[in-house]
Amino acid sequence: MKIFDTHVHLGKKRIIENNTTKADKLPVHLNDNNNTGERFARLAQKQGVFKAVVFPYALLSSDINKANDYILNAYAKNQELMIPFALISPELSERFSQGAPFRGVKEHFYVTGAKDPKVYAPLYDLLQQKGLILLIHPHMKERVEKIRMLKRDFPKLKIILAHSGRKWPFTGIDVADLILPALKGYDDLYFDTSTIRAPQTIADMVNQIGSDRILFGSDYPYSQEGEDIYPSELATVTEAPIADADKEKILFANSKRLFWEGSWIRRSFRSDRETIWALFETLTPQERKFLALDKKLDLIKANIRDERHIYLLEDDRGLAGFLRESGRSDNGAMIEEIIVHRDRRGQRCGERLLQMAEQKFSYLESKTFADNSAVIRLQERLGFQVVKRSPNGKILYWRKDHDAR
């Protein structure tokens, strides 16, 4: 089962000042506010999370600039998994103008507080113009009016209403009888399922607005004490009395449609095996020899089965590229194979895959036949250096260090 999670908090305690109080019983103060990028990437692999929208903790005590920087750093290292959102601030428009790769903004009433909404109007307008997304958690008293105001002034702004506007955490109160009747008529308005925990509410939502605008979210790492978050959040959807096709849309397909921009890199899943094999069939005998592919098919099958070490570049036509690595010490990796579909060659697909790996690992190594000119040109263009040759000169050993690590 593929999962696209639209609601994940990331950050480190060092960028959150210690001035919150345990007396506040809201979940934001009862949970661990130290969900690092590394920690979440491991969890996502274990839980089958395909992609995840990530953003900082919405705390007044956060250093928002540092929190947003942390998101970009985590995204750079996990481009196959994360879709980065910034925590809202009046100065955020400048970061977008400077090319920051945020795909949207998280707004939370904890952060905006009593500020005049007009302060954020330029940011809303920028998001609307660029087709970016506002994920918003309004104050309970303005859940309906805030969305109405935004849709009045910025009608084409894409909005995800966090928690579908439910009243209290871990319930579906108000969603079906207050929020949806008031807001279901607006275009480009989506509803995430995080912390609803009421399967019947999901069914009521599908009955009122269909399944196309409902998105799975976990609110990770926020939870009730002692529970395993993902099974609990997934059960809200999987146990809802709705069709399996609707569940698949909510868990994955709707979010993929919303965030798709023509291509992306992701890790492989078991269900990709036939597609990967079809890509291999496009290789010439000489290309298969360069890769020693036929000697490694069993190992590749095992990596696909375990959903590890393989990254895929997808575009509108399907699978465009394949990269498999094997881990090395000190967060390094050996590039075992890199394959680009014959119809996509010359479009920098291999370069994109290697650049992703370069950000993810501290260093990259590879070995090639000395007459594999295509891969040699690619690696030289990206700054790989030959560090050793085989005694007969037929095999070249390459390395590239990531200077930023």
Q: How is residue 401 written in tokens?
A: 């260090």
Q: How far, in Å, CA of 36 to CA of 13, rounded?
A: 9
Specify the domain boundaries for CATH 3.40.630.30 within the chain. Answer: 263-401
Give tens-digit pLDDT for 293-320: 999 999 999 999 999 999 999 999 999 9
For domain 263-401, the CATH superfamily is: Gcn5-related N-acetyltransferase (GNAT) (3.40.630.30)
Q: Which long-range contacts (CB under 8 A, 24 or more apart) does 272-277 make?
A: 272/304, 272/310, 272/312, 272/319, 273/301, 273/304, 275/318, 275/319, 276/300, 276/304, 276/310, 276/312, 276/319, 276/322
| Cross-strand bridge partners of residue 190 | 160
Q: Between the CA of residue 55 and those of 12, 105, 255, what are the distances in Å?
A: 12, 8, 16
Give pLDDT tens digits for 44-81: 999 999 999 999 998 777 789 999 999 999 999 999 99
- Going by C-alpha positions, the residue among 285, 213, 303 that lies closest to residue 249 is 213
Q: The pTM is what?
A: 0.93
Architecture of the structural domain at 3-259: Alpha-Beta Barrel (3.20)
- Of 99, 104, 73, the closest CA to residue 87 belongs to 104
CATH 3.20.20.140 domain residues, the chain: 3-259
Place of tokens 């190992």: 299
Q: CB neighbours (10 Å) of residue 50?
A: 19
Per-residue pLDDT of the chain (405 residues; tens, 9 = 90+): 789 999 999 998 766 655 454 434 455 555 556 789 999 999 999 999 999 999 999 877 778 999 999 999 999 999 999 999 999 998 899 999 899 999 999 999 988 887 788 899 999 999 999 999 999 999 999 999 999 999 999 999 999 999 999 999 999 999 999 999 999 999 999 999 999 999 999 999 999 999 999 999 999 999 888 889 999 999 999 999 999 999 999 999 999 999 999 999 999 999 999 999 999 999 999 999 999 999 999 999 999 999 999 999 999 999 999 999 999 999 999 999 999 999 999 999 999 999 999 999 999 999 999 999 999 999 999 999 999 999 999 999 999 998 643
